[in-house]
Amino acid sequence: MIGADVQDPQEVKGQIAAIIQILADSWNSHDMDLYGAQFTDDADFVNVLGMHWHGRPEIAARHAEVHRTIFRNSKLRVLDYSVRQLSPDIVLAHVVWEMTGHEPPPGISFSEVRKGVITGVFVEREGRWLITAFHNTDIVPMPPLGKA
């Protein structure tokens, strides 16, 4: 039997899935206030270029900047995700995504269809799950390595 203060693992997975969907929906509507609202006040976000943003306000502001420019026409789609509960109030998630419609920053080359994976740490705070750490990585296709 699950105690009153411990959530059912399926319920937790559903709540994390809902946040992942909110992230995709807010990205696609370019609502970076809603996007940022999914993070803790002291969250850490590392983007695909290795830029490290700290705290909900900076995460939302930096995303708003790029959504006015290189991501203004982008569309994000979640391809797959996994959720692993590490403790009653900590969840690890991996999210595989695909993006189209983006413009590469000056001097950087991105493929027309980008794919990546995010490693996210979610924490339960005051009865709500929020992201406390997100590390985003592009999946870069590699040719087969030759025999040594």
Residue 2 lies in a domain: no
We report the CATH number of the domain holding residue 34 as: 3.10.450.50
**Does 102 reside within a domain?**
yes
- Is 50 among the domain residues? yes
pTM reported for the whole predicted model? 0.89
Contact 33, 25 (CB under 8 A): no
Sorting pLDDT into bands at 50, 70 and 90, what band is 7?
Answer: confident
**Residues of the domain holding 59:** 9-138
pLDDT of 4 over the 60 cut: no
Distance CA 148, CA 67 (A): 44
Token pair, residue 126, equals 């005051």
Write out the two tokens for 63. Answer: 């995303």
Above 70 in pLDDT, residue 5? no
In a domain, 147, yes or no: no
Number of domains the chain contains = 1
Residue-wise pLDDT for 92-140, tens only, equals: 999 999 999 999 878 887 788 999 999 999 999 988 999 999 999 999 8
pLDDT on residue 1? 37
Within a domain: 60: yes
